[in-house]
């Protein structure tokens, strides 16, 4: 494991006023590792999967068969998996373009989609269209538009409106992420690494906050808590991810959880090698102060959450309807992770939360 370079010691006070030594790290080296070993490779892999998806759409438009539909669905699944690995990084051009909201807001608005397919010109750049596009909208066309027996007939209709709209949705995903990738490769990488200070607007503070926000709001709440009814009077299975495909929401959850774990531990996306990560920094702090390793607690809860998720049905919507107690157990594990990340980790790193907590936890 690559070690973290200790440059100097800072003095901070905990809540009881006891002074603790906090080691500083070579933030530039950490940021370079994040950019070159994790963020850019993940964004490249996601873009490659979108290009395969585009090719599958083209093939399907040329020859609308059971076989080409199967290939298209498989391409959609792989691209959706790859999306889970980049969704954390809502920074730079991704934040500017609102990539996450344009890519994966669910449940999708099927009534709006039905209106959109009949429009000659459609503007999908408006915030009001977040839930009319992205992977959930594509999923609806591929799985929810009609029964398995009737879907090809609907898609083969003379006006080809559904296939044409499908192509528009996939092209939109390509355009957004291509802009993000180009920016990382041509300009933002250097700006990101150069912004190596310790202020609230510095890259380390921003990205660690992105990690915590993603884990709390989009993984814990979005994928589990909301459909399980944690924030409502009753469970909402219709608000689970991938509700039209009965065997995929668990896979998306596990991919998302793994993406968090790999980033936290600094796992090189291309080689699988354990590089410089947040875990290294936390270990230096804990070793200096004689504490138990917070990184081990965080990794332990992430592993426990993955182990429990494996026991659930492949469809989280079905799981909520059949045995919601097991979904609530998964939520409780993730909630413990939120405490470790948001309270213990941020306090140890002396980083302030930069987003508003609105769900009452």
**Helix ranges (DSSP H) in the chain:** 27-33, 40-62, 66-86, 93-97, 99-103, 110-116, 134-139, 151-155, 161-183, 189-194, 203-213, 226-228, 249-264, 278-289, 294-310, 316-338, 346-349
pLDDT digits (tens, 9 = 90+) for 207-224: 999 999 999 999 999 999
**Does residue 17 register a pLDDT over 50?**
no
Q: How confident is the model at residue 359 (pLDDT cuts 50, 70, 90)?
A: low
Report which of residues 357 and 29 the model is more confident about: 29
| Degrees to nearest 5, angle at CA 190 with 189 and 196 | 100
Q: How confident is the model at residue 262 (pLDDT cuts 50, 70, 90)?
A: very high
**Does residue 346 register a pLDDT over 70?**
yes
Q: How confident is the model at residue 131 (pLDDT cuts 50, 70, 90)?
A: very high
pLDDT of residue 165: 97
Dihedral of CA atoms 322, 316, 226, 232 in degrees, nearest 10, equals: -10
Report which of residues 290 and 295 the model is more confident about: 295
Q: Say whether pTM exceeds 0.85.
A: yes
CB 76 within 8 A of CB 53: yes
Fold exhibited by the domain 6-349:
A middle domain of Talin 1 (1.20.1420)
**Site of tokens 């924030």:** 231
Q: What is the mean pLDDT of the chain?
A: 92
Give percent of the chain with pLDDT exceeding 90.
85
Torsion sign (Cα): 312, 304, 235, 89: negative
**Helix ranges (DSSP H) in 216-248:** 226-228
Domain ranges of the chain: 6-349
**Burial bucket for residue 259 (CB in 10 Å: 0-12, 13-18, 19+):** buried
Average pLDDT over residues 154-163: 91
**Does residue 24 register a pLDDT over 90?**
no
**Does residue 49 register a pLDDT over 60?**
yes
Maximal C-alpha separation, the chain: 74
Radius of gyration for the alpha carbons in the chain, expressed in angstroms and rounded: 22
Kindly state the tokens that stand for 202: 């510095």
**Nearby residues of 176 by Cβ (< 8 Å), 6 or more positions away:** 97, 99, 102, 103
3-class SS of residue 311: coil
Q: Which of 43, 37, 32 is nearest to 190 (CA)?
A: 32
**Does residue 23 register a pLDDT over 80?**
no
pLDDT of residue 336: 98
3-class SS of residue 21: strand
Helices 249-264 and 278-289, packing angle to 10 deg: 50
């Amino acid at each position: 494991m690559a070690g973290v370079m200790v440059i100097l010691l800072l003095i901070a006070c905990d809540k009881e006023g006891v002074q603790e030594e906090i080691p500083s790290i070579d933030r530039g080296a950490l940021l370079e590792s994040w950019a070159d070993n994790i963020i850019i490779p993940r964004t490249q892999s996601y873009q490659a999967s979108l290009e395969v998806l585009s090719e599958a759409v083209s093939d399907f438009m040329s020859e609308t068969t059971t076989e080409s539909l199967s290939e298209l669905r498989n391409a959609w699944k792989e691209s959706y998996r790859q999306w889970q690995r980049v969704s954390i990084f809502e920074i730079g051009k991704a934040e500017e373009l609102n990539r996450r909201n344009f890519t994966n807001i669910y449940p999708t608005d099927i009534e709006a989609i039905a209106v959109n397919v009949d429009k000659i010109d459609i503007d999908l750049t408006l915030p009001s269209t977040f839930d009319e596009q992205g992977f959930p909208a594509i999923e609806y066309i591929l799985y929810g538009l009609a029964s398995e027996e009737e879907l090809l007939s609907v898609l083969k209709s003379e006006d080809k409106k559904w296939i044409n709209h499908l192509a528009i949705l996939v092209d939109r995903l390509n355009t957004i992420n291509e802009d993000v990738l180009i920016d990382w490769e041509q300009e933002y990488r250097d700006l990101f690494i150069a912004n190596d200070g310790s202020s609230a607007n510095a890259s380390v503070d921003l990205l660690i906050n992105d990690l915590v926000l993603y884990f709390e709001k989009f993984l814990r709440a979005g994928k589990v808590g909301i459909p399980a009814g944690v924030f409502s009077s009753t469970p909402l299975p219709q608000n689970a991810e991938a509700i039209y495909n009965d065997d995929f929401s668990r896979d998306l959850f596990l991919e998302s959880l793994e993406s968090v774990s790999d980033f936290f531990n600094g796992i090189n996306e291309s080689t699988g090698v354990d590089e410089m990560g947040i875990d290294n920094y936390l270990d230096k702090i804990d070793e200096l102060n004689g504490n138990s390793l917070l990184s081990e607690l965080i990794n332990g809860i992430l592993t426990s959450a993955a182990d429990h998720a494996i026991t659930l049905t492949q469809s989280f919507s079905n799981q909520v309807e059949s045995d919601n107690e097991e979904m609530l157990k998964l939520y409780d594990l993730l909630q413990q992770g939120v405490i470790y990340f948001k309270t213990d980790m941020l306090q140890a790193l002396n980083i302030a939360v930069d987003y508003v907590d609105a769900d009452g936890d």
